[in-house]
Every structure is written in structure tokens, then in C-alpha cells.
Amino acid sequence: MPLSRLSTRPGALTLTWSFSAPMEDVWVGLTDPALVAQWLGRPTQYDVRMGGVLVVDHGDGFLSRSVVTELEPARRLAMTWDFPDEPASVVGFTLRPSGAGTVLELAHDGLGELVAAYGPGWVTHLTYLEAAVAGAPIPRAQFWALHATFELLHAGADR
């Protein structure tokens, strides 16, 4: 299973995800606007450099606006995360090699009471990222159904 860990603490969550792809391919998935559109949302501005601004349209006019705060090509990308009606937070992606593949650690801090909601959301997005990196994107129309499944699993529902 690609998801090997999902942990939370007050206001923050961490996910660890394994990819069968090399680090360079996963990095491209995080930084190439064409691939970002397959897993996160449609980039309207995507300047991946220190201080660069990333604006992503998640649909229905919901735009996230981020500023790159850390950048180590093919290894680390961190940014602010400003989403409508949510507290300002910070998200970071750290890549490390693992055999022929890659382990990605996502850390999202400053979420306040939204930690429980973000777990299933990031699991869904990382599922889409994995498919995009593999060259087999998942249709966007499947996003909310998959998200609902992950919500039930995350809540520990036994239905």
C-alpha cells in the first residue's frame, strides 16, 4: 500500500507515501503544472522557485495561494497554504529514495481544527499524484467518491 503512515497532532498532520517511481519523476509530479492539474487542481500561476507564488484553482472558484518557502530540487518543497475560510498554514513535501522508488513525506502544519478533514483530502490527492506520475491519471469525476471512501476509513467507520 502506498500510504504507510498518517499521523496527527494538534493542528498538524503527517503522511508517508511510497511511489514505485524514481525521485525525479515524483518531483516532476509536484512541480510540473501539467501534472499538478491532474492531482491537485488547475494551476493559474505556478512559479516554483524560492519566493515564487503558486495559485491553484480547486474548482468552484476555490483558489489556494502559496508562496514557496523552501526549495531543494528533487528533494524538498515547502510553501505557505492559504485557502479560503481556513487558517493560514504551511505544507511541505520531502522526497527520499527507497530502493528503486521514492518515499514522500507530507507535513501540513497550522491546520487548527481542520486536521481531521485534511487527512482524507491529502490521501485522495496523493492517490491522484501517484496515478499522474505513473502516466495513468484518474478521472477528476472520481475525486469526491474516492474522497468519501477515505473519509469513512479515516473516521474508523465500520460500514
The predicted-structure confidence for 61-110, as pLDDT tens digits, reads as follows 899 999 999 999 999 999 999 998 999 999 999 999 999 999 999 999 99
Close Cβ partners of 106 (under 8 Å, ≥ 6 residues apart)? 14, 15, 16, 17, 91, 92, 93, 122, 126
Using DSSP's 3-state secondary structure scheme, residue 64 falls into: strand
What is the pLDDT averaged over residues 137-157? 87
Strands 53-57 and 42-46: antiparallel
SS3 124: helix
* pLDDT at residue 157 greater than cutoff 80: no
Confidence band, pLDDT 50/70/90 cuts, at residue 1? low
**pLDDT digit string, tens, across residues 85-99:** 999 999 999 999 999
Q: What is the CA radius of gyration of the chain?
A: 15
Q: What predicted TM-score, i.e. pTM, was given to this entire model?
A: 0.94
